[in-house]
């Protein structure tokens, strides 16, 4: 039976509205706290390094909105389905509202502590450990300032919130070109152990509901198809690199095994492994079955061809190449593409991932959100 305080909280959740998305329905999760990289960053990186430009955000926000996509990310769509506002970036000083959670994710973040500077390697300084420390600080400050009227989470929100972790892609890919699959595989156990231990640390802070995303099939991503060394025989009939996807599958098995072990020391918690890999691989392998026209071709890029990706000219940027000023522009129909910029999915692809997340069909153990919330359409 819910406590009186939680019942009152649910009533408040149904009444409080947000400028970007009104809270409409009752849900067992009054807040979302997210940890991740560009796959779930809703503006944290660009709040620190403000420089994002169009055509990012063209589909839903109609302007750059801090997301590495043409529109909403899975974390956005999840929040909408649960009847919650979009999750404010922790690092955004203007306009953030943390009453229904906070997003600690930043573009280019890693699980392991980076050994180099952003300006040297492009890796964000906000690794998973830093994001966890930010979470601890937010919780401590919220509890001490709870009666101040600030837009901070209530004490109950921390215990009943949903904690999502979607990170690890940059650990996997940042050194892949230089040290190869064999080199990367050597430190993957450290990556999954850090993720699982973060679940335990959050549990010790009172968290009880966790969704941990595995890695996507990067062997199908246009950027990696153009940049990573491979032979023609390593490309399958769907246009994806087999060896790199096999390495991702190895990582995902390690993560699944590690999370299974951590469940034994977090009694009473839901620790759910979500197979994002399987959902996206299905889209890349059978795009037309799911309403897409292009699979391994980026919507926003330069160069055309089967991948439309040039590493020298990233989406929205311009550069002089062979004496000519060229710009990586966006397609007019991103809903027909799985890949937005060669590295991240389009909003249309993110919707498929979100639907699978909500119905629990790709979760271990099964976790159907309709058992916990009056789900709202994501549009």
Please give the positions annotated as active site: 38, 341, 344
Which residue in 271, 129, 137 sits closest to 208, CA to CA? 271
Task: Copy the structure tokens of residue 203.
Answer: 């549990």
Burial of 343-372, coded b for 16+ CB within 10 Å and e otherwise, reads bbbbbbbbbbbbebbbebebbeeebebeeb
Distance of alpha carbon 149 from alpha carbon 155, whole angstroms: 13
Closest CA to 275 of 139, 127, 166, 135: 166
Token pair recorded at residue 375: 């789900």
Q: What is the DSSP letter of 240?
A: -
**Rounded to an integer, what distance in angstroms lies between the CA atom of residue 317 and that of residue 211?**
35
- Among 47, 12, 48, smallest CA distance to 31 is for 12
> Rounded distance, CA 143 to CA 333, Å?
46
Burial 1-18 (b: 16+ CB within 10 A, else e): eeeeebeebbeebbeeee
Nearest Cα neighbor of 378 from 357, 353, 360, 351 is 351
111 exposure class (CB count in 10 Å sphere: 0-12, 13-18, 19+):
buried
Of 142, 128, 38, the residue nearest 350 (C-alpha) = 38
Which residues on adjacent β-strands are paired with residue 313? 310
In three-state secondary structure terms, 301 is: strand
Q: Which helix (H) or strand (E) holds 305?
A: none
d(CA 219, CA 229) in angstroms, rounded, equals 11
For residues 155 and 5, is the Cβ–Cβ distance under 8 A? no
């Amino acid at each position: 039976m819910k406590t009186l305080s939680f019942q009152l909280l649910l009533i408040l959740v149904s009444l409080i509205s947000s400028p970007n998305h009104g809270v409409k329905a009752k849900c067992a999760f009054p807040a979302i706290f997210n940890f991740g990289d560009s796959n779930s960053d809703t503006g944290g990186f660009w709040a620190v390094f403000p420089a994002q430009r169009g055509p990012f955000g063209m589909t839903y926000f109609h302007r750059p909105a801090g997301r590495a996509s043409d529109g909403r990310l899975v974390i956005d769509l999840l929040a909408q389905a649960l009847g919650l506002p979009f999750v404010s970036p922790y690092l955004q000083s203007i306009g953030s509202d943390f009453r229904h959670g906070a997003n600690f994710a930043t573009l280019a973040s890693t699980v392991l502590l980076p050994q180099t500077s952003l300006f040297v390697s492009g890796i964000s300084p906000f690794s998973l450990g830093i994001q966890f420390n930010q979470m601890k600080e937010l919780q401590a400050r919220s509890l001490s300032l709870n009666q101040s009227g600030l837009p901070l989470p209530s004490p109950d929100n921390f215990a009943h919130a949903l904690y999502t972790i979607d990170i690890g892609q940059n650990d996997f890919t940042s050194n892949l070109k230089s040290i190869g699959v064999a080199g990367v595989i050597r430190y993957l156990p450290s990556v999954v152990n850090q993720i699982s231990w973060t679940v335990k640390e959050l549990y010790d802070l009172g968290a009880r509901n966790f969704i941990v995303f595995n890695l996507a099939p990067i062997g199908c991503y246009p950027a990696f198809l153009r940049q990573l060394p491979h032979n023609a025989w390593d490309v399958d009939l769907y246009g994806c690199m087999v060896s790199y996807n096999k390495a991702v599958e190895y990582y995902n098995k390690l993560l699944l095994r590690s999370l299974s072990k951590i469940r034994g020391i977090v009694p009473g918690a839901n620790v759910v492994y979500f197979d994002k890999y399987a959902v996206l691989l299905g889209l890349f392998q059978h795009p037309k079955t799911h309403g897409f026209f292009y699979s391994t071709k980026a919507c926003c890029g330069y160069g055309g061809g089967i991948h439309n990706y040039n590493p020298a000219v990233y989406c929205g940027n311009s550069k002089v190449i062979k004496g000519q000023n060229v710009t990586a522009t966006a397609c007019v129909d991103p809903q027909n593409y799985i890949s937005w910029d060669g590295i991240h999915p389009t909003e249309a692809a993110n919707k498929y991932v979100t639907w699978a997340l909500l119905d629990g069909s790709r979760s271990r153990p099964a976790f159907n959100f309709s058992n916990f919330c009056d789900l709202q359409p994501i549009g």
